[in-house]
Structure 1
Amino acid sequence: MFRAKLSVVPAMALAAAAVLSACSSTPEDKTATWSPNKIYAEAKDELNSGGYDKAIPLFEKLEGRAAGTPLAQQAQLEKAYAQYKANDQASAHATLDRFIKLHPASPALDYALYLKGIVNFNDNLGMFSFLTRQDLSERDQKAAKESFESFKELVTRFPESRYTPDARARMTYIVNSLAQYEVHVARYYYSRGAYVAAINRAQHAVTDYQDVPALEEALFILMRSYDALGMTQLRDDTRRVMEKTYPQSEYLTRGVKSTQDPWWKFW
């Protein structure tokens, strides 16, 4: 029994030595003696040179070091931008949501809302969509709707903001894409003979959106689907609406548009 108690002592000594060894191997914090301004300058240099993985922890240190100052708020926004550029949309969202909650009266709130919209906008569009000719309407719409809401809040609360004109243009694009998404799905159903489903999705586009390019094709899909189902009265009514709204429509003469460029190519 006495020997068992003695054996505990070297074990404890070994554990303590291991802890001390681990502490001695902890990397030294090179920013420990830096001023907040120096941390910010170093973080900006990393950000501007594309070193997002190095910029983010520096901005995080600055948030703590300069807590309660405008510089800490700036660090938070810069961190969100670095996370966005590093393709970490989830972290960028979390950072921006935290900023908006903590600083509702910040003079940079308009930028925070704009950046939140941009994060969703680019996440939804995809970096290489212009190579694959895949436009926003062919992707999941959740991010597009969240992007629209951020831009809408920006233009409503800050109509004179320097970011508002671009936000308005992107809102127009998003509305067009959401309508086109409904048409994209309607076209899919129609091509597979699911005419009732095609009608439902095309009607969504016609009912929920106005003055967008996609409505021309939505009406055409409605007309063709009614025709396929033998619903001649609705077919003829839809055709009259098309003829009045789009008198030069190529859908009425050719069945398709002759151009191969997508509607969103202007962006």
Structure 2
Amino acid sequence: MVTVRSEDTTGRTRKLSQAGCLCIGLLLAGCSGDLGYSGLGDYVWGGDDSSAQSASVNSGDAVAPDLSGIEDGKPIAELYNDGLEKLKDERYEKAAKAFGEVERQHPYSQWATRAILMQAYAQYQRNDYDAAQNAAQRFITLHPGHRDAPYAYYLVAISHYEQISDVKRDQTSTAKALASLEEISQRYPGTAYARDAEAKAVLARDHLAGKEMEVGRYYLGKKSYLSGINRFKTVVSKYQTTTHTPEALYRLTEAYLALGIRSEAQTAAAVLGHNYPNSEWYRDSYALLSGQGLSPSENKSSWISKAVTSINPF
């Protein structure tokens, strides 16, 4: 009889932590990281690269933009600064609407470009992640070469990331988050955005692996061994750097033994022992094989050996 023992899956923080991650709010305060430009905050609050009118104001005060070349500039100044004030007051829904009006009424101005990204940020802050993604994606589509395109990509990814749910639920958002995070790493390697994306991708992969394990255990409990093996194979092949790999190798040992495929069971246990010699899953695998007069022995031609060279670097 095959016993099915599950492990708890590590939870996650629902919102961005203030430490250990790239805080979007810092960008609004002028934090540039090492992205090669002075950051979103410079033109939000009137930094050096902004063409806003110079005035003696506090760093957090809204500054009217340069209205030269605009025949009727008062509406755009009022709209944009109204959005900034509402953003400062954390009235995010109204801020998003104000920035939306900037884009609608002055679609060809430089402030419309900036307002799109500000809409995305405001929507993110009010937890409307779909709206945040749509605005950020619109910015990317309209301005793919803009210096703040990395931030737009980051907003898309982080909006998916915030919707990652427990492994018992659908993981569509997790898959989208991982794809978006990996895209940031590929497009902007070495940047602060890429480093944060890589850290968050670790959790996303762990969740996807956890979902495969959840389904695989279900199949084992139903004695649908081949279906279970396919799930554990995905973990070992695609997510072998996650915390679920030791258990996946144990489950492969368990399932292959149940099917009478001893060579694969011995290989799974041998690979598990090589990479995680002190793991409880290896001890269980060893005991499982010993109970049938077998011992771990790697078959180099097995798909397991080909998929796994050295999982554990320690």
TM-score by length of 2: 0.62
Compute the displacement of 1:251 (Å). Answer: 1.5
One-letter code aligned to 1:152:
E
Distance in 2 separating the partners of 1:113 and 1:107: 12
Residue of structure 2 aligned with 1:217, choices 244, 247, 259: 247
Conserved 8 A contact 1:124-1:139: no
Paired residue for 2:91? 51
Conserved 8 A contact 2:256-2:262: yes
Give the 3-state SS of the residue equivalent to 2:164 in structure 1: helix
Rg (Cα) greater in structure: 1
Conserved 8 A contact 2:130-2:159: no
Conserved 8 A contact 2:276-2:282: no
Distance in 2 separating the partners of 1:216 and 1:58: 52
Paired residue for 2:130? 90
What pairs with 1:116-155 in structure 2 (closer than 5 Å)?
Answer: 116-125=156-165, 134=166, 137-155=167-185
RMSD: 2.3
1:251 aligns with 2:281: yes
Kindly provide the CA deviation profile for residues 202-261 of structure 1, in whole angstroms up to 9, marking residues without a partner as x.
011112233222111111111111222333232222111211121111123357xxxxxx
Distance in 2 separating the partners of 1:232 and 1:204: 20
One-letter code aligned to 1:221:
R
Paired residue for 1:71? 111
Give the 3-state SS of the residue equivalent to 2:189 in structure 1: coil
Distance in 2 separating the partners of 1:155 and 1:252: 34
What pairs with 1:10-29 in structure 2 (closer than 5 Å)?
Answer: none
Compute the displacement of 1:159 (Å). Answer: 2.1
Distance in 1 separating the partners of 2:99 and 2:219: 49
- Which structure features the higher share of helix residues? 1
Distance in 2 separating the partners of 1:162 and 1:35: 36
Distance in 2 separating the partners of 1:41 and 1:105: 26
Distance in 2 separating the partners of 1:226 and 1:240: 13
1:195 aligns with 2:225: yes
The percent identity for this pair of structures is 31
One-letter code aligned to 1:216:
P
Give the 3-state SS of the residue equivalent to 1:123 in structure 2: coil
1:232 aligns with 2:262: yes
Distance in 2 separating the partners of 1:111 and 1:86: 18
Conserved 8 A contact 2:123-2:129: yes
1:113 aligns with 2:113: no
Paired residue for 1:5? none
TM-score by length of 1: 0.72
Compute the displacement of 1:115 (Å). Answer: 0.4
Q: Where does the alignment leave 5 or more consecutive residues of structure 2 unmatched? A: 1-71, 286-314
Q: In terms of mean alpha carbon deviation, does 70-79 or 87-96 score higher?
A: 87-96
> Aligned residues, how many?
214
One-letter code aligned to 2:83:
A
Distance in 2 separating the partners of 1:232 and 1:61: 68
